[in-house]
Amino acid sequence: MKKCLSLTATLSCIVLLFLMANSAVYSQDATEEPAHTLTNPLNTFEGADPWLTFYDGNYYLATTTWASLLTMRKAPSLAGLKTAMPITIYFETDPSRCCNMWAPEFRLFEGDDGAQHWYFYYTARTSGTLDNQHSHVLESDGTDPLGPYHYKARLFDPAHDTWSIDGSVMVLDDALYFLNSVWVGDYQEIFIAPMSNPWTISGERVLISRSDYAWEKSGLFVNEGPVALQHDGKTFIIYSASYCATPDYKLGMLTYTGGDPLDGASWVKNPQPVFERSDENGVYGPGHNGFFTSPDGTEDWIVYHANPSASDGCGGARTTRVQKFTWNEDGTPNFGAPVAVGEEIAAPSGDSGIVTPAETVETTRFKLSSAQAYLRHLNLNFRIDFTVTPVEDSEFVVVAGLADPEAVSIQSVNFPGLYARHDETNLISLGLDDGSDAFAGSATWYERPGLVEGAEADAFSFESYDAPDSYIGQKFGLVALVKQSEMMTDRLREDATFVAEQ
């Protein structure tokens, strides 16, 4: 809430202001901007593979979602990203590219219409697998980083159409190059390929880095997450080395020595890592980075993810961190040591310092009335678990029903805009509201008295709006619509009866 000065200021206040206006101290400090600060991390969970950009007065941050959708946060200050709600910018239903989305990167390029567009690069797998990752790109309709976006293309080298992750675009001498990471035998290697436009690879890939040193071989032989860094005419590729499940995930560096960028000999690897774990600061596995400049363009900053303990691995405990870096006399970057969580650091030069208070949203967890188990989503599908990590996967906002305001719809907290709905197979999953009557009907529920016999007064069951007498319950361990009938067992009734927990 904004505070306003009284229109009837007292005489003493007027005198005080007059004295301040004529003091030397006041004349020196009044024109100075306050020193803004912030602390890491920028989020509390699911902060892996961050990409951060300052554009037109705001910061934009995207991270891995592990799901069939992409999200972004927007704030006028770096610290403001900590309270910014994620916004779903794209939702995918095509089974050939629907799932487990990783490693976002978004850049502003000219499209085939001659106008500027954001190109959002990401990795996604096919439905029905736990792997088969490939690189894809979206195109924005205009110049708003939040979109809207439409699917543009899959990026691949026709001669080597293989597993591909961590796609990144490098601009060098006005030409575009695609960087990515690919498994070849026991090695996950980094390749470069030419591009004819921001969505098309136009030639064969060339190997530029594989795990040569012991520090690149912790856990597995991994080189991944390549991203270009350019300064004073020099070009570097900063990449992540070793396996993310180890605390020794870290950053290495390639230096471009001139000549053809598509010649592996044009890239020289630094024999030592350039950014790695700090046990003293409690930072483990720092890696998969991006770069951005301060709002006034005078400072260079790195954004990366890291773990709070040595045993956290490749999961949702990784959070997004930022810090300023400098340059050595030889023109190479000096990233220093990763900053400890909670350590106060100066905000980027020109940062507004504006932090919008987090919106107060009443969230609800739905617990089985018969057990300490919760309704939750995992990779957009619903299940009932006793232990939920992160807890936000079991938190929902109940709103007026999309198809009937007398009913309710159940919106995800960490994926705003996505609702609990049933599909054509009667399974319950999260879906993006497309504005259609069909979606509204599948995502609308009536709260009925609990189906279980002798249920407490506060127990209830969710009856489907467009499938009368069918309720959210469990079938064969899957959360699905369950038809109420005389043959309904006590167990089915128990699994379809919930209580709300604030």
Angle (CA) 59 63 68, round 5°: 125
Query: Hey, CA dihedral for 199, 121, 314, 379, is it positive or negative?
Result: negative
Q: Are 394 and 374 in contact (CB under 8 A)?
A: yes
Residue 121: left if φ>0, alpha if ψ -120 to 50, beta else—which one? beta
Task: Report which secondary-structure segment, H or E, holds 16.
Answer: helix 11-21
**How many CB atoms are closer than 10 A to CB 34?**
7
Closest by CA to 226, choosing from 151, 378, 123, is 123
**How many CB atoms are closer than 10 A to CB 204?**
13
H helices, E strands: number in the chain: 4, 35
Q: How far apart are CA 144 and CA 142, in angstroms?
A: 6
Query: Hey, CA dihedral for 27, 28, 33, 39, is it positive or negative?
Result: negative
Closest by CA to 44, choosing from 419, 391, 412, 396, is 391
What is the amino acid identity at position 178? Answer: F
Q: How far apart are CA 9 and CA 31, in angstroms?
A: 24
Q: Are 497 and 370 in contact (CB under 8 A)?
A: yes
> How is 328-383 classified by DSSP, letter by letter?
-TTS-EE--SPPPTT--EEPPTT-----PPPP----BEEEETTSS-EEEEETTEEE
Q: Are 70 and 90 in contact (CB under 8 A)?
A: yes
CA distances 217 to 142, 211, 247, 283, 443, Å, are: 43, 6, 12, 19, 47
**How many CB atoms are closer than 10 A to CB 344?**
9
Catalytic residue among 166, 189, 224, 495: 224
Query: Hey, CA dihedral for 175, 180, 185, 187, is it positive or negative?
Result: positive
To the query of whether residue 49 is one of the catalytic residues in this protein, the response is yes
Query: Hey, CA dihedral for 304, 309, 311, 315, is it positive or negative?
Result: negative
Catalytic residue among 49, 189, 392, 463: 49
Tokens of 105: 């990167």
To the query of whether residue 29 is one of the catalytic residues in this protein, the response is no
- Which residues does the annotation mark as catalytic? 49, 224
